[in-house]
Amino acid sequence: MATKKADKDADNLAAVLEKIPQMFGEDADIGLRMHDIILQAAPELKPRLWYGMPGYARGRSKPVLVFIRKDDYLTFGLTEKANLLIDESTPDNLIPNAWFLKTDLNEATEARMAEIVRAAVG
């Protein structure tokens, strides 16, 4: 049983690592760095494809908490299953759950992403 689970986890990881260069194109190095940041911040997360994009969940049959994608912008986001950061001090009822990356990753952006991931997995 453990071997099948390990094999499935390895297959899922391979699928994500194959998808990132396809999806991110010339920004593949940024996509791979985003992948690394997520897994370094929360090593318990298991990567898998989720609606055709890299997603990260606590296990194979658990809901995806964090995802990355590339359309016009690089996107880093959380699903409704994540431990969302709710700022009670704001007058609105909006909860931030996705961020566009303007340019290349820098140290501050990497640190903020890691902080968000750690909070998301609670």
Residue 114 burial (CB < 10 Å; 0-12/13-18/19+)? Answer: middle
The CATH number of the domain holding residue 50 is: 3.90.1150
pLDDT (0 to 100) of residue 54:
97
pLDDT (0 to 100) of residue 65:
94
How many domains, the chain?
A: 1
- Residues 33-91 have pLDDT tens digits of 999 999 999 999 999 999 999 999 998 788 999 999 998 899 999 999 998 877 788 88
Domain region containing 85: 2-121
